[in-house]
Structure 1
């Protein structure tokens, strides 16, 4: 593979126009296909087979209500000294609803005065708008009509907010987060290379790969159910790894030029050596992301595959477009020693990485103990981790959805935002109606219920439906316990209780994901161990690599719980409200961090292995590896941290929390684990780090990850 990449690098360098024309044709074709097919993000985050999904299916079968349409809930609060039944207030509300009804897309709007959707103090009430199409199909013109119409009631002094299934705070791609991440990455690259021209190259190639990847995902959205968050996640990961991959190749190219190789040979060797590591690292990330399919949760599998496609796109562009651009620029990328500023910065960086290596060589045992204690301290909060799905109550306080959520809780109780729908199945009872009646009375006596509606039987009389309003909020422990208590009474009087609703669905998804995490982590950790044995031909190097990943994962989850769930430092990061962690975050973070951790492991340790093969000195190879690869890994880590951290400024809470969590995970893995803990382990182990039984060595295939066949050629100008 190294030889193939070596030839690919030389070809791309010597024939840059052909490579650019090839990719341009791909880009034109994929853009044309995107325009022809359009875009359709309509996936949800449900999990087939859960108790709540089965209950929902039974509900639709026994209590059909026609095709579900999108809804917008209008939430009103009367002025300070008035009520909703005051003549002036009532007039303004009715005028608002009348204006909304003029939209032909509206199927119906409920009258809060006829449905008695008014709080006991008559200060807060709501009316529901139902559309003829599903939530994701409601047009922007209809949303604008609602926003314009509610100005009537607002101008009358009535606080008017919005809720329902139609969202107004959309997930956006291509906003301030991506721009900020690119700017910060450019600054890091400019400092690393001491050149504005070279700093722009990794960003340019990453953007090319990003555009191609985004276009491919937009086309796929028409044929596969996926949410808009899948695209945002893919952009987040693709931007970070795309810049890093180009950085590694360009950095090796400049090193080779400094060693005396001519331009074309340096390009070929850069792609053959650093490119081999990029290919292996990229494939590792792709496999880790595709491994999310093993969790057997549809929306997570789609997220993983979409992100993997983006990584594939930026990786292929890095291996081909980067040497092509180098071929166009020629010696403009050379590390000229005439540049005194560059020379001083380079010398300073080399001294710093050498000094760090010597520090680790001097105190490896103390460093290992310190890192283990730090990991334990940060990981501790993860022991009380809770999972959930953010609702409107966790959105920013300035959003209309959050204001509406708070108004409903104020007027009707916290449980109003998370009602439970219970279906009583008495089909196996000889006296269905009597069994349903006794079961209803049993539910009425349960703790934690604020209000319960009368049971409504279906046409056969064997099933009945009722709605429960808990005393506690949707994400509170008491509500989750109430769901469990109802389900535990699943065979009373011959009647089974099935619970659904947003809260019950959330509980089931969280439980399924909690059970899936150990299985998924076990699979990818086992995969990592075997892969590292093949790559580094060692038993202990893979072991400490996997150990380092587990330390990173536990610390990352501990930090997430500390900030997002417990609320410490939440205001510093602009987190509007605390609550359970996003239920699919642990699984998603495990897959992403595994791939990125193996990136840094490959780029750093492969250089150490190369030095060990040449010198046979295990400790010296660690210092040398840190000297040659430490600076680039540091820059790559910082770029990825800042790219992920830039998404903290996104409005959407899911994107914000994912960005913060991944930024910390990369920070901890790159600097605490890969640059500190791993070298300290290897210092203590010495030559034992590279031990591999002879019988196993004979059976294992040889993977030339750093292009040893190229690196060990005679070092002369070709």
Structure 2
């Protein structure tokens, strides 16, 4: 790379121009829905409702029209309904428009009505359709009449926008904070700015790549939101490790190309293996049959792949070109910095002399923080994740006030026409069902009938699980129960069902990759197992904050009483990937010194002395990036920022800088031992140059 800088820069320039030209369209092009469990009854019910009942599915748009003075049948309200209907009829993504119906979608006092515009497109396109038209709909408000688009499609439209705005604000805040930390860590403006520029190149390329990929298969807009944050933190980690190693190699050899070669032969291998571990961890999420969850993983994997490619190609070329100029703009203290940190060397020696107090102390803290996980509750997000001034939330709360607590979450029942009456009677007898609408036969001769069952509780209530299960057990065989609440419950069940498999796959593949990298089964096993401690502790803290509400006033949110349902699956993969990132950095450096000396004490102390400062700086960057998302108003980015930030903080400080070095001390030569048959099977990887 350092010998062919023009080719490397030229090829990256072509890639960035090609993909960068598509990058600005990333948030407008990506899909807005996908929160469903493929193959579930609720998804099948939605598809049948859309196909045979004029699009009156869970993805249909509901427009709440209310007036304190006029009733729904008044000329003024009817005029608004007519104008709203005309707006829907101009867009082919909407199907049949159903006017407010007495006893069903008109409130008992007659002052609130719900206009339903059927879905004539897939859920992703319906979210885009609502986004395009909701401004015109809310503009119909006036003269004492309020108009609010609501329903599942409107919910995702408003929620995605609020989430996107919050993520961008957090990103804008995190970049200067990150740069400040990098300057302090490197002591050089050039060395500090280089990782940021390379990470930016990787992010631009991944944004364009997602737009390109979205033309083949729908990619959730959340994929880019998560990718921006995760790739920024991880890309800086990689560059930090590489630049630090290059500066040390350059100081000893004075030859930039030789320093690049030494860097790639040591830190480069560690970064490549770390990146592979991250990709493998996230790939386990792909088994979950939920499009949004899968594509979030794909988005992060794509961003990590581009950032990793930039780190292993563009960065060595840039370092070879810069040479000693990498230290340009150095602060006074930076000139006194050494590759082997005296401070971390002393820390390593202290841990070596007194391992047990530190081991017991760190374990006690991690276990204590992990205990709340035993009572953690998860569920799909409630309406509270949307800002209070969002039209969808205002419409939702108005429907609850005027038509009943469960009115915004109608359950749709699809059955055969011959069993419609029996289905209606069974549904009406089900505990928790407040009302069942008369059966509506399909007009296309398909033989289906549809009923709406209105629950008596809020759609996000924990009782909905029992209500839906009882309803499905009560109705005739072959009858499908769907609707937005049922879709959320089916998705949550799928996430719960697949969580053990995801955890098992991640742990197994993580161990295998560490084994290949380190060629030593004991330390590979210990490195994998201790990563669970920071994960458990992070979710324990999440339970205390987001379920119990501790600190909610300070963080500015109303607790839902549970953690968002996709958190355990998705955040586990992300936390484990980050934890293994630090594990590889520390153990690869220790292995490098063990290969040179054969002395486990030198390996442990010098491994910490050469990687401790980098791990601490990288962790500071990650914590700063993640905690900026805790300032976001929507709850999911806040959850993500707190959970990942706490996980990185605990992992770096208590595990990588305390517990893992102590385990190296206690295991001695055994940490690096490998049976002869295993050495013959594994590919030979060495970290010493």
Q: Same fold (TM over 0.5)?
A: yes
Is contact 1:486–1:497 with CA below 8 Å preserved after alignment?
no
Q: Secondary structure at the match of 1:138?
A: helix
Take 2:657 and 2:209, find their aligned partners in 1: how far apart are those partners?
A: 36
> What do residues 358-399 of structure 1 show as CA deviations (whole Å, max 9, x unaligned)?
342343223333333323322223223333322433322233
The answer for the alignment partner of 2:489 in structure 1 is 507
Take 1:302 and 1:413, find their aligned partners in 2: how far apart are those partners?
A: 36
Matches within 5 A, 1:36-55: 39-41=29-31, 44-55=34-45
Take 2:478 and 2:208, find their aligned partners in 1: how far apart are those partners?
A: 49
Is contact 1:39–1:219 with CA below 8 Å preserved after alignment?
no
Question: CA-atom RMSD, angstroms?
Answer: 3.3
- Which stretch of the first structure deviates more once superposed, 28-37 or 564-573? 28-37
Q: Unaligned stretches of 5+ in structure 2?
A: none
The answer for the alignment partner of 2:108 in structure 1 is 120
Take 1:284 and 1:262, find their aligned partners in 2: how far apart are those partners?
A: 32
Take 1:440 and 1:146, find their aligned partners in 2: how far apart are those partners?
A: 34
Aligned partner (choices 173, 176, 185) of residue 178 of structure 2: 185
Is contact 1:240–1:643 with CA below 8 Å preserved after alignment?
yes
State the Cα distance separating 1:270 from its structure 2 match. 1.6
Take 2:189 and 2:611, find their aligned partners in 1: how far apart are those partners?
A: 21
State the Cα distance separating 1:289 from its structure 2 match. 1.9
> What do residues 278-330 of structure 1 show as CA deviations (whole Å, max 9, x unaligned)?
11111221222223223444443333233212111111111222233334433
State the Cα distance separating 1:148 from its structure 2 match. 2.6
The answer for the alignment partner of 1:5 in structure 2 is none
Take 1:489 and 1:139, find their aligned partners in 2: how far apart are those partners?
A: 35
Aligned partner (choices 154, 160, 164) of residue 172 of structure 1: 164
The answer for the alignment partner of 1:163 in structure 2 is 150
Does 1:371 find its partner at 2:371? no
Does 1:447 find its partner at 2:434? no
Is contact 1:549–1:594 with CA below 8 Å preserved after alignment?
yes
The answer for the alignment partner of 1:25 in structure 2 is 14
Report the CA distance shift for 1:442/1:147 in structure 2 as closer, same or farther (over 3 A). Answer: closer
State the Cα distance separating 1:251 from its structure 2 match. 0.6
Does 1:331 find its partner at 2:324? yes
The answer for the alignment partner of 1:216 in structure 2 is 209
Aligned partner (choices 468, 489, 492) of residue 474 of structure 2: 489
Report the CA distance shift for 1:511/1:110 in structure 2 as closer, same or farther (over 3 A). Answer: closer
Matches within 5 A, 1:614-625: 614-625=596-607
Is contact 1:637–1:667 with CA below 8 Å preserved after alignment?
yes
The answer for the alignment partner of 2:457 in structure 1 is 472
The answer for the alignment partner of 2:343 in structure 1 is 352
Is contact 2:358–2:659 with CA below 8 Å preserved after alignment?
yes
State the Cα distance separating 1:547 from its structure 2 match. 1.1
State the Cα distance separating 1:543 from its structure 2 match. 1.5
Is contact 1:449–1:470 with CA below 8 Å preserved after alignment?
yes
Take 2:369 and 2:543, find their aligned partners in 1: how far apart are those partners?
A: 10
The answer for the alignment partner of 1:16 in structure 2 is 5
Does 1:242 find its partner at 2:242? no
Take 1:349 and 1:450, find their aligned partners in 2: how far apart are those partners?
A: 70
State the Cα distance separating 1:184 from its structure 2 match. 1.5
Report the CA distance shift for 1:631/1:148 in structure 2 as closer, same or farther (over 3 A). Answer: same
Aligned partner (choices 672, 675, 678) of residue 696 of structure 1: 678
Does 1:85 find its partner at 2:71? yes
Is contact 2:441–2:447 with CA below 8 Å preserved after alignment?
yes
Take 2:339 and 2:324, find their aligned partners in 1: how far apart are those partners?
A: 24
> What do residues 477-521 of structure 1 show as CA deviations (whole Å, max 9, x unaligned)?
211111112223356xxx554321111111111111111111121
Is contact 1:365–1:684 with CA below 8 Å preserved after alignment?
no
The total of aligned residue pairs comes to 674
Report the CA distance shift for 1:625/1:349 in structure 2 as closer, same or farther (over 3 A). Answer: closer
Aligned partner (choices 145, 149, 172) of residue 140 of structure 2: 149
Is contact 1:475–1:579 with CA below 8 Å preserved after alignment?
no
Report the CA distance shift for 1:161/1:144 in structure 2 as closer, same or farther (over 3 A). Answer: closer
Report the CA distance shift for 1:266/1:366 in structure 2 as closer, same or farther (over 3 A). Answer: same
- Higher-Rg structure is 1
Is contact 2:38–2:289 with CA below 8 Å preserved after alignment?
no
Q: Secondary structure at the match of 2:520?
A: coil
Report the CA distance shift for 1:683/1:398 in structure 2 as closer, same or farther (over 3 A). Answer: farther
> What do residues 633-652 of structure 1 show as CA deviations (whole Å, max 9, x unaligned)?
11111212222222334454
Is contact 2:549–2:558 with CA below 8 Å preserved after alignment?
no
Take 2:647 and 2:24, find their aligned partners in 1: how far apart are those partners?
A: 37
Does 1:342 find its partner at 2:334? yes
- Which stretch of the first structure deviates more once superposed, 177-186 or 355-364? 355-364
- Which stretch of the first structure deviates more once superposed, 30-39 or 624-633? 30-39
The answer for the alignment partner of 1:716 in structure 2 is none
Take 2:53 and 2:390, find their aligned partners in 1: how far apart are those partners?
A: 34
State the Cα distance separating 1:600 from its structure 2 match. 0.6
State the Cα distance separating 1:123 from its structure 2 match. 5.8
Take 1:647 and 1:573, find their aligned partners in 2: how far apart are those partners?
A: 11
Matches within 5 A, 1:172-571: 172=164, 175-334=168-327, 340-343=332-335, 346=337, 350-424=341-415, 432=418, 437-456=421-440, 464-489=449-474, 495=477, 497-571=479-553
TM-score (norm 2): 0.88
Report the CA distance shift for 1:621/1:40 in structure 2 as closer, same or farther (over 3 A). Answer: closer
State the Cα distance separating 1:603 from its structure 2 match. 0.6
Take 1:418 and 1:256, find their aligned partners in 2: how far apart are those partners?
A: 63
Q: Secondary structure at the match of 1:398?
A: coil
> What do residues 252-300 of structure 1 show as CA deviations (whole Å, max 9, x unaligned)?
1111223343222212212222111111111221222223223444443
State the Cα distance separating 1:575 from its structure 2 match. 3.1
Q: Secondary structure at the match of 2:406?
A: helix
- Which stretch of the first structure deviates more once superposed, 536-545 or 657-666? 657-666
The answer for the alignment partner of 1:715 in structure 2 is none
